[in-house]
Structure 1
Amino acid sequence: MDELEQKFDKKRQFDLIASLAIDALGMATYILPALGETFDIVLAPVISALIYAVHRTTFGAAFGFLEEIIPFTDIIPTATILWVYRYVFKKKETLQAFMEKFNKKNKKTIIIPAK
């Protein structure tokens, strides 16, 4: 179980750093105020794809796309909010999905005891 916990913790940390970077990229358009909202048209599908790659949620990717495309909403840290939702509010479900993927990959069966 220790190996699994370490891998889950590394994934959780990686997802947080990736989420913060995605949100920083989305907010970077504020550096060039005149071009910022125009550049969001190009950046919206990129942000959406990155959110999907990290969080594997179509809803989150669509919301990230809309957040980028709608003017003056870049300040919303969509990827980080998704991270909080997955790793704080839905931690048990996220861990369970991680374990299933881990078990399938390593052909092991590890069960979390009910609390």
Structure 2
Amino acid sequence: MKYKSNRPYGKLALSVLLDAMGYVSFAIPGIGEFSDIIWAPVSAWIMTKMYKGQKGKIAAGISFVEEALPGLDVIPTFTIMWLYTYVFSKKKESIIEV
């Protein structure tokens, strides 16, 4: 067994950090929902940069909607996309190479 680079784990750490940034709107009542107006398109753009192709575009759309709608900020969109890409995807971008 040969391990690939730690890049997938770096992307996981970044995903957790970006999801945490999305939760910030709950910490500041009143101002939080206004911050979502700015964070929603930014998170969608970051998602397209992290995940290329069709799946990145779909994830960006989901991320935008999740951040733009009130009350959905608790969904860890970036982490779910990482899990989909590196754990559950049929076309595995596996972390471990056999």
TM-score normalized by the length of structure 2: 0.84
Which residue of structure 1 lines up, in the alignment, with residue 24 of structure 2?
28
Which structure 1 segments of 5+ residues have no match? 96-111
Which structure 2 segments of 5+ residues have no match? none
TM-score normalized by the length of structure 1: 0.72
% identity of equivalent residues: 34
Q: How does 1:1-115 map to 2 (within 5 A)?
A: 2=2, 5-7=3-5, 10-56=6-52, 57-90=56-89, 92-95=91-94
The CA deviation string for residues 12-62 of structure 1, in whole angstroms up to 9 with x for no partner, is 101101110110111111111111112101111111111222222100011
**Separation of aligned partners in 2, 1:47 and 1:89:** 22
The list of structure 1 runs, each at least 4 consecutive aligned residues, that deviate by more than 6 angstroms after superposition, is none
Preserved CA contact (<8 Å) 1:18 1:54: no
Name the structure with the higher helix share. 1
The CA deviation string for residues 56-107 of structure 1, in whole angstroms up to 9 with x for no partner, is 2100011101100011100000000001111111275324xxxxxxxxxxxx
Bigger-Rg structure (1/2): 1
Task: Give the CA RMSD over aligned residues.
Answer: 2.1
Q: Which has the higher contact order (CA 8 A, sep 6+)?
A: 2
Preserved CA contact (<8 Å) 1:44 1:65: yes
